[in-house]
A = this chain, B = another copy of it.
Amino acid sequence: MILCDCGNTNIKFYDFNILRTEEVSEKLNFPDEKFFYVNVNSSLDSIFEKNLNAINLSPYINIKTKYKGLGIDRQVLCNYLEDGIIVDAGSAITIDLMDKGEHKGGYILPGLTAYQKSFLTVSNKLQTKLKPTNIDIIPQNTDEALSCGVIKSIVLLIKSLGKKKIYLTGGDANILKEYFEDILVDKYLIFKAMREIIKEKYLGL
């Protein structure tokens, strides 16, 4: 069973243990067999729809929420757990709160790469590679001020949601993981969540 998660920057194919990641472009290298997909990039919708092997998973997802406009990738992740905070640290950082099977709302911040790029639009003195840093001390130079400012502000926002288990995924999960105690880090979380939906809603198992 091949699964496909198409984000804003990358498209990822997952076939049990094999993961293929490509940059998103108009020329997608689709599998030659049936595959299930979720896609947040609406400019690629028609390309997916034209491909006869591509099965859109979105009609099978229905989570309990009052939130309007929840991205399909966030819906898949939220569907996976009854209770907890789901953080997807990708092109953007999404933070969603699940409580007793209900999605209670969520936040969006820039992804770490987007933060880095945004500093460069302000001043070329603010060039830095954001990296893990001790957020308990107060920064003493520009690099620390940028890394600590960004990471601490993200961590504090996540922690403001209360003491629930954190489910962390996305390309920058490794940078954020060390600031939380009760945490599950899984870069394949979306695929596990997709497989649950396929089993329960598509196959009726």
Residues of A within 8 A of B (CB): 8-9, 40-42, 66-69, 71, 91-92, 94-95, 97, 104-111, 114-115, 117-119, 121-123, 125-126, 137-142, 145-146, 148-150, 152-154, 156-157, 160-161
Contacts and interface: CB of A to CB of B under 8 A. Distances in A.
Given A9-B122, A91-B123, A95-B149, 14 more contacts: A69-B142, A71-B125, A92-B123, A107-B145, A107-B152, A108-B119, A108-B126, A108-B146, A108-B149, A109-B153, A110-B119, A111-B122, A114-B121, A117-B121
Query: Majority SS of interface residues in chain A?
Result: mixed
Contacts of A71: 125
Give the top 4 A-B pairs by smallest Cβ distance, nearest first.
A105-B138, A107-B149, A118-B118, A156-B156
Contacts of A68: 140-142
